Every structure is written in C-alpha cells, then in structure tokens.
Amino acid sequence: SLPDFRAHERSFQLLTQVAGRTGRDGAGSVIFQTWQPDHHVLRHAAAQDALAFATEELAVRAEVGYPPYRRMLRLALVSRRLGEVSAAAATLADLIRAGLRNPAVEVLGPAPAVFPRLHDRYRYQLLLKGGLSTAEKAWLADCARRMGARTRGLDVMLDVDPVGMW
C-alpha cells in the first residue's frame, strides 16, 4: 500500500457507500472483517456517522501535523541515473536545510519513492511539513528549477499538499 494521509478518509467514504447500498430494496446487513475492529474508520462507518468520523480524523491530523492544520510540500526528483538522482536529492535537501530558516518547517528525506524505479527512471523525494510563506515557496520553486537546470536529464517537481506519494 502507498503512504497517504488521506487513506482513512477514502476508506470511510468507500465503506459507508458500500454499507449504504445494502438496505436499498429491503433489510440488509454489512460485515466488516478486520484485525482492528476499534479503529475509528470502522466504528464510524458502521454507525454511518460522518460528523463523528470527521471530528476524530481532524483531531488525528492536528496531532501529527497533516493538512489542513499544516501544509505539506513534496519535491520529487526523477532521472534515468540512480547516482545522479540520489546525489541531487541529497544536495537539494542540504540546500533547503541550510537556506530555509523557518523552525516551523520539518524537512523529511531525501528518500527513494515508494516505487523507486518506474519506466527506467529512478525517483527520490523530499517532504516538507509546516507553514511556508509565499516567499519561502517561491524560494523552494527556484531551488527546484535551478537543480533541474543544473543536472541534465534530471526532472524536479514541486507538489503542494500532494494527493499521492508515489
């Protein structure tokens, strides 16, 4: 499975949708088979209680610093050469840690992507969590652009509040 802080939300939506379809033409029942019967997603899906789910899920996100309470920004680096992409990711991480003087921003990585090689291209990523000013976002975009321009065959992408973490 892929890392995704929105997985609970999607699971709740899917489970409530499936459960909602069972009683359309008469009485029906749904059985959730799980190793974690007390998980808040299952409890609230079984009760069809979207408000209680949202309240608890937002509390979890606030505790770990995920959106909407903190912003996330992913820098993804892709190249046909593994050594090139890993070195560029390390250099970019060092540059960001040295240049970004915002203690509210946590820099995670660099690390290989969940699928580190796809279509003969190697993939690394950095994740930043915290509140970034407009100037800091512009600085990061410029760092990404310069890193991509400096290394032939290297693509650097910036994704604010990423939907996926490939």
The string of pLDDT tens digits covering residues 81-123 is 999 999 999 999 999 999 988 888 999 999 999 899 999 999 9
pTM: 0.75
Full domain range(s) for residue 83: 72-160
* Pair (77, 57) in one structural domain: no
**Would you state the pLDDT for residue 137?**
87
Number of domains making up the chain: 2
H/E/C letters for each residue in the chain?
CCCCCCHHHHHHHHHHHHHHHHCCCCCCCCCCCCCCCCCHHHHHHHHCCHHHHHHHHHHHHHHHCCCCCCCEEEEEEEECCHHHHHHHHHHHHHHHHHHCCCCCCEEEEEEEEEEEEECCEEEEEEEEECCCCHHHHHHHHHHHHHHHHHCCCCEEEEEECCCCCC
Structural domain contains residue 114: yes
* Percent of the chain predicted with pLDDT > 70: 96
Per-residue pLDDT, 121: 96
Average pLDDT, the chain: 89
